[in-house]
Amino acid sequence: MNFPRRPVMIVATVVTLLLAACQVPAAAPGGDTAPGESGEQVELLYMTHNFEPAADLNDSLIAEFTEMHPNVTIVYDHAPADSYEQKVLTAYAGGQGPDIFWAGDWMMPQFLEQSIVAPVNYSAYGVNSASEYAELFAPNSLAPFTHEGEVYTGGLSEYNTFSLLINIDHFEEAGLPLPSTEEPITWEEFATIAESLAQQDANGNVTRNALVWPFTSGIWTVLILEPLVHQLGGQLIDPETGRPDFVSEEMVKTMQYVQDLRFTHNALDPAIYTGLLDDFGNGTTSTIIAGPWAISNLERINPDLNYMVVPLPKWANGERITTLYAWAWFVNPNSSPEEQEWAWRFAEHLSANAQRWWDDVRYVQARLVETSTGEAINEYQVSTEPLMPVFLEDYNYGRFQFRSPHYFELSDIWTRATTRILEGEDVMTVLTDAQAAADAAVD
């Protein structure tokens, strides 16, 4: 397969990028007298969001690293994903920022503005420059983490797109044909399908949702809804001016669609939502929009779940665009030189284990490695997971989230607007209020 090259913000897919054979140089810290080599004790605070399969693997990798380097102690702190970024920022504000941590690509503008991430110590990866370092990763995958020629991440812990996961039994019970695994259905078609999938009691109250997402999470609002805006040709943020636009034609159409799912089609009710994967695993929703990472947890929640993955829907007259986002490892520039040195070495250890991140967590990563069987990591993913080809194809159409140092304020404004719209308020009135709040946030 020939990997398509796309503009920076529409990143080249993992599919063929990771097919390229790549020999990763053995990690070697720079210099003959790297800090800590003499056995000086170092303690690192490592923070991530709380995803059980990932936390388990992190525990294992920490144990391995500290066994190899007994002078290093790693304190591992993981918090719920919905509050994680704010916890990191609060820790920095209190002078207790982690030495090494996960964060999403959408935080880079704020990180750079506040100078709270360090440029990569390339020697920890056995290379000497940004260009050599970039060769360790899929082309363009480091673009969101690069500024003025310097890279600011020690590797991508997750490199994700979203596809549509559907409960096969629910489709068959409703007499619905299963969607294609090659061509996306339209959002217009999905609305009709959702009406058939949802269930209501005698009073018309929804008892089974057709689609859910974490309705009160700002990040999830963007991940789920921004692709619909992009598909119509819109953008939340003007990339040249940084100004938000909550009242564009594309935004209005997207949010009217969301309201119609709730009230016209009676296909969802946030009141009965308990959790994305739990609801899908226990059958209280028929579809979710998620990434490859969902597979491992769904196996834990319900190993008998009968589901499949199909392409993310698109508007009938819109462009096929999916979401694309990455979580990555960062190092604190305010940590001591010794702590930074060991943090980079630990980041190298974490990012060098792409096969285990796939086997144990179903995280797709952008570092180009071979597996223990000598396969390119992407070939290995396809051979070990029948659901993976659809996700890999959706990577081709991925676009990163909007960029703004005001990401949290703006995503929160969008989430509050979504809540009001799902409660039945007039869409244009709500979005006009959102525009005023967004203007105030960026001024």
Q: Is residue 358 within 8 Å of residue 293, measured between CB atoms?
A: no
Confidence at residue 119, expressed as pLDDT on a 0 to 100 scale: 98
Tokens matching residue 273 = 């939502």
Confidence at residue 387, expressed as pLDDT on a 0 to 100 scale: 96
Domain formed by 22-161+324-387, architecture: 3-Layer(aba) Sandwich (3.40)
Rounded to whole angstroms, how far apart are CA atoms 307 and 294?
12
- Give the number of residues written for the chain: 443
For residue 211, report the phi and psi dihedrals to the nearest 5 degrees. Answer: -150, 140
Rounded to whole angstroms, how far apart are CA atoms 46 and 57?
14
Q: Angle formed by the axes of helices 218-231 and 81-93, to 10°? A: 110
Instruction: Mark the ranges of the chain whose per-residue pLDDT is less than 50.
Output: 1-36
| Burial (CB count <10 Å: 0-12, 13-18, 19+), residue 2 | exposed
Where along the chain do the CATH 3.40.190.10 domains lie?
22-161+324-387, 163-311+406-442
Rounded to whole angstroms, how far apart are CA atoms 62 and 101?
13
Confidence at residue 214, expressed as pLDDT on a 0 to 100 scale: 97
Q: Which amino acid is residue 96, in one-letter code? A: Q
| Highest CATH level, class, for 163-311+406-442 | alpha beta
Provide DSSP, 62-94.
HHHHHHH-TTEEEEEEEE-HHHHHHHHHHHHHT
Q: Residue 242's Cα: distance from chain center in Å?
A: 22
List strand residue ranges (DSSP E) for 98-162, in order. 100-104, 146-147, 150-151, 156-161
Run of H or E residues at 164: strand 163-167
3-state secondary structure of 424: coil
Per-residue burial over 307-341, b = 16 or more CB atoms within 10 Å of its CB, e = otherwise:
bbbbbbbbbeebebbbbbbbbbbbbbeebeebbbb
Per residue in 386-428, pLDDT (tens digit) is 999 999 999 999 999 999 999 999 999 999 999 999 999 999 9
Placement of tokens 């059958």 in the chain: 283
Tokens matching residue 358 = 């796939």
3-state secondary structure of 215: coil
For residue 384, report the phi and psi dihedrals to the nearest 5 degrees. Answer: -105, -5
| Burial (CB count <10 Å: 0-12, 13-18, 19+), residue 372 | exposed
